[in-house]
Amino acid sequence: MAATARSKAELDEEFAELYRSHLRDVYSYAYYRVGNHHDAEDLTEQTFLQAYRHFERAQAESDGRPLRPWLIRIAHNLAANLYRDRSRRPQTTIDDTSGLSAVHTTEDLVEGRDELARILAGVKELPNDRREALIMRFALGMDNREIARALGKTDGATKVLLHRAIRQLEGIVGDEHTRS
């Protein structure tokens, strides 16, 4: 009995550590995914609540690997549900919440607002899986293996996905630059 209580306390402590370590990651992902703070907060909250419910099993199945991809996968699935639910409601379109909003310092705005705005607009034009892979790589700093686990793909497929996302983005931004 004592052993059970101790392991549960350890489990809760580990969950608290996971929460502290990755709150910013989950929030960043949610924000770039849904495009506004209100929905990003809801998504982050739901992600951690769901993570808490399944934490013990996830830990057992992780085999010692980091749990960040698992957290981001939860957020990814919840965001997909959010969009699906909203698409069924005629009064609220997906476009109302799908914008990639920029979060930048004054220095960034002075130095290259137009350039960064073009990049964000280009990212928004990418197919969902490419856009998500770029968010995970550049906003969260995830490596190929982590992204692969979050998206449920192989490492090789993820490497190709990222490569194609960047090439496509270059094309989009280049075309935009030529037109202007």
Partner 1 sequence: MSTPGADIETLLSRALQPVDPPDGLSSRLESTLVDLTEAAVVELESWELRAMRDPRNWVRPVVAVVVTATAGTALVILRVRAGQKRRVAVAHGPADLAARTAKAVAGEARRVVRR
User: Which range binds partner 1 by CB under 8 A, 12-20, 81-89, 91-99, 144-152?
Assistant: 12-20
Phi, psi of 88 (to 5 degrees): -85, -15
CA dist 17 and 154 (Å) reads 28
CA dist 180 and 161 (Å) reads 28
**Considering Cα of 10, then 14, then 19, then 21, what sign does the dihedral take?**
positive
**Considering Cα of 175, then 178, then 179, then 180, what sign does the dihedral take?**
positive
115, 127, 156, 163: which one contacts partner 1 (CB under 8 A)? 115
* E strands present in 50-127: none
Interaction between residue 10 and partner 1 (CB under 8 A): no
127, 152, 156, 174: which one contacts partner 1 (CB under 8 A)? 174
Q: Site for partner 1 (CB under 8 A): how many residues?
A: 49
87 or 112, CB closer to partner 1? 112
21 or 93, CB closer to partner 1? 21
Helix axes 155-179, 144-151, angle to 10 degrees: 100
35, 41, 58, 164: which one contacts partner 1 (CB under 8 A)? 41
CA dist 158 and 151 (Å) reads 8
Residues 74-103 that bind partner 1 (CB under 8 A): 102-103
CA dist 116 and 52 (Å) reads 36
Interaction between residue 119 and partner 1 (CB under 8 A): yes
User: Which range binds partner 1 by CB under 8 A, 65-73, 75-83, 85-93, 167-175?
Assistant: 167-175
Binding site for partner 1 (CB under 8 A): 8-9, 12-13, 15-16, 19-20, 23-25, 27-28, 31-32, 37, 40-41, 44-45, 48-49, 52-53, 102-104, 108, 112, 114-116, 118-120, 123, 134-135, 137-141, 166, 169-170, 173-174, 177
